[in-house]
Amino acid sequence: VQLQASGGGLVQAGSSLRLSCAASGRTFTNYVMGWFRQAPGKEREFVAAIRWSSPYYEDSVKGRFTISRDNAKNTVYLQMNSLKPEDTAVYYCAAGRISSRVPAEYDYWGQGTLVTVSS
């Protein structure tokens, strides 16, 4: 599976962004799709994942971020609202066979897209 993430940028606190991740190469619906992020000097952390139509989130983004997938377009999205400076990170999409919050459980990764939230 090849993954191509896009949609990052520089925004002010309180703004919104939508990240997209286009997949190709294998049957998209076979995979759990996840979003992770990595801030400078920190480990990569789980943000959200979706298996079929069942999403789950890291606590700090619940109520602000929404993950969704369009199986017809082989694309997964991350709608991010009420962005905070602490959301600043490189965001990565990933595909795996099992539902997990652990990066090592995912088999394929996109190249990352930078989200910078200014205060």
**pLDDT per residue rounded down to tens, the chain (119 residues):** 899 999 999 999 999 999 999 999 778 888 999 999 999 999 999 999 999 878 999 999 999 999 999 999 999 999 999 999 999 999 999 999 999 999 999 999 999 999 999 99
Q: What is the DSSP string of 33-49?
A: EEEEEE-TTS--EEEEE
User: What pLDDT shows up at residue 26?
Assistant: 73
User: What pLDDT shows up at residue 107?
Assistant: 95
Residues 6+ apart with CB under 8 A from 62: none
Within 1-119, where are the H helices?
none
Q: Which residue has the tokens 């099992």?
A: 98
User: What pLDDT shows up at residue 53?
Assistant: 78
